Amino acid sequence: MPGYATGEPEYQWGPTQPPGAAPAYGYPQPPGYGYPQAPGTGHPGGAPGWGPQQPGAYPAAYPAGAHPAAPHSPAPYGGAGTPLVSLGDITVLSDSIVTPSGTLPLKGAVWNATDMSRTEEKIPPQAVVLAVVFFLVCFLGLLFLLWKEKTTTGFIQVTVTSGGRHHSTMIPATGPNTFAMVMGQLNYARSLSA
């Protein structure tokens, strides 16, 4: 199109990038993770064994029926840095407990939980309005008063003591079953501490 040259400054927008810097978010990026560089592979260098391959397309170095280990296989369960359970800001690893106040030893830890939540049941305001409106029409409007609404407020306090140190966290109660869920996780942490 005439008059629309790509180098004209009045048609360029956005912040300027320093020379050699990576482009900012939203700007065209050089191909990287998730963008295959060679057809049929997912590795930027096009190395064999990476990315999707067709059945039977393994290199001749592998005998029939033998396949290489998956390149993206997960770490072994319960490795040194693998979180096993998380309770609020307390994270239990296979050999330690990580808290914002420091790392505690896992063996011999004492766990406690206190339910400081409450569940209230009340008639919502819209049920009262509908009961009054339909009471004037017929007595069936009184059935709206049977409409109940449960709301849970409060927290579950979880404490851990180990190695002469103590940490406490508060987990918001989102429903009447929150304490049971937290106790399930806490009992698992207790079994790891034994």
Quote the pLDDT of residue 145.
83
Q: Residues 45-69: what's their mean pLDDT?
A: 49
Quote the pLDDT of residue 82.
84
Quote the pLDDT of residue 16.
63
Quote the pLDDT of residue 10.
60
Which residue would you say has higher pLDDT here, 187 or 11? 187
- Using alpha carbons only, what angle is made at residue 109 by residues 103 and 115, rounded to the nearest 5 degrees? 100
Confidence of residue 129 (pLDDT cuts 50, 70, 90): confident
**Torsion sign over Cα 47, 50, 53, 58:** positive
- Count of CB atoms within 10 A of residue 98's CB? 17
Per-domain residue ranges of the chain: 29-73, 85-193
Quote the pLDDT of residue 65.
52
Q: Per-residue pLDDT tens for 91-116?
A: 999 889 999 988 999 999 999 999 99
Q: Report the DSSP pairing between strands 90-92 and 96-99.
A: antiparallel
Quote the pLDDT of residue 78.
47
Q: What pTM value is reported for the model?
A: 0.53
- 106 close to 93: Cβ distance less than 8 angstroms: yes
Closest CA to 134 of 123, 124, 144: 144
Which residue would you say has higher pLDDT here, 106 or 74? 106
Tell whether the model's pLDDT for residue 35 goes beyond 70.
Answer: no
Quote the pLDDT of residue 186.
94
